[in-house]
Structure 1
Amino acid sequence: MGIEIVIGDISFPTKEAAIAHCRAILHRSSLDTEITGNDASFVEALLYARPDKVAELAGRKVVRYLRKMHWHNTPCFFAELDDGSLLDISFMKFINAYPQRPGG
């Protein structure tokens, strides 16, 4: 049995499945658009699964979630905060923190 990755209420049997889900959300609409509905709930769960990003909130509130190009030139989730700033949320950093599955 491989490593199970859980984000919010969604369980993924492999890292590849989690990556595919995140990429599907990113590419469901064009860059610089708002993420809404269940996709926004998923991105929020991803944000709160990253203690380092929660610490960066520093009391600020998320206004909305966006699809944007990261300064590393890759599409990424962002949280727009109530002070107008943007916080990047890397799903790859979260997923890569999980160990490789045994034997793989």
Structure 2
Amino acid sequence: MDEAFIYQILAIVSEIPKGKVASYKQIAELSGHDKNARLVGRILSHASYYGKYPCHRVVSQSGRLVPHWDEQKELLLEEGIEFKKKDHVDMKKYQWKV
């Protein structure tokens, strides 16, 4: 993977304000790579190799949390984010508006 692209994605993620979330698709679109939402997910799964980023603020387009990452929900709750369902953020209320 291109390091410049990785850091571009991580820079966008670092801009998501506390108490807001963004989708993988939204991050891909902001990077100018509209069709690479899955690649964004892959990059974020390895983000700890590059530093500390608020990856817990990135969810699916429907607001679904990352499967098997229990800490994500705890971190979002600490930021005041509420859930529609057990594992879905209310995107209408909490999606980051750029």
* Shared fold (TM-score, shorter chain, > 0.5): no
TM-score, L = length of structure 1 = 0.30
Task: Point out the structure with the larger strand share.
Answer: 1
Q: Hey, which of these two has a bigger chunk of helix by percent?
A: 2
TM-score, with length taken from structure 2: 0.31
